[in-house]
Amino acid sequence: MYRRATSGGFIVVTTFLIVVVMALFTWVMYGMARQVNTMTETFVEVNESFKTMIVDMHTMAGDMDEVIGHMATMSSAMAQMTVAMNEMQGNMGTMDASIGTMTGEIQSMNGAVGSMAGSVQSMNAAVSQMTMDVGRASYAFSNPMSYMFGGFPF
């Protein structure tokens, strides 16, 4: 037994198996490093998305200031319209024009609400994609062998 364990063939086979195991370990580490790189790129994209979202929020805040200004103007106009209706003795033509103006403003607000709903839907899709990407990256970190072999053998 001692002579077989120290023979040249046994040492060559043992050394070869050690090299194979080290190569497998290196390959696994390379795969994990690629996943770390993917996760880093995902976080960079998330950062860019947050930057864009903050810019959009600032724009929305400016738009909301304008809406508040328009609503104050509209409130003032409605108060004046009420006074004019109390004072007028049957001038229905003026009232009809005011209602037409108000209809245009409501249609404009309706278009803005539709646009805002589209923006919220886009943000929802982006957050959903980010959640999926972070989930994949977390799975790759928690179980790298299963991730690289597509669920086999674990």
Which among 143, 118, 132 has a CA at the least distance from the CA of 32?
Answer: 143
The predicted structure's pLDDT at residue 22: 96
As a whole number of angstroms, the distance between CA 116 and CA 113 comes to: 5
Whether residue 144 is preceded by a cis peptide bond, meaning omega within 30 degrees of 0, is no
CB atoms within 10 A of CB 127: 13
Q: Give the tens place of pLDDT for each residue, 22-64.
A: 999 999 999 999 999 998 999 898 888 888 888 888 888 888 8
Look up residue 76 and give its two tokens.
């003032």
As a whole number of angstroms, the distance between CA 44 and CA 130 comes to: 11
Alpha helix (H) residue ranges in 88-143 = 92-142
The residue among 15 and 103 whose pLDDT is bigger is 15
Q: Give the tens place of pLDDT for each residue, 64-123.
A: 888 888 888 888 888 887 777 677 656 666 667 778 888 878 888 777 777 888 888 888
With contact defined as beta carbons under 8 Å apart, do 95 and 85 qualify? yes
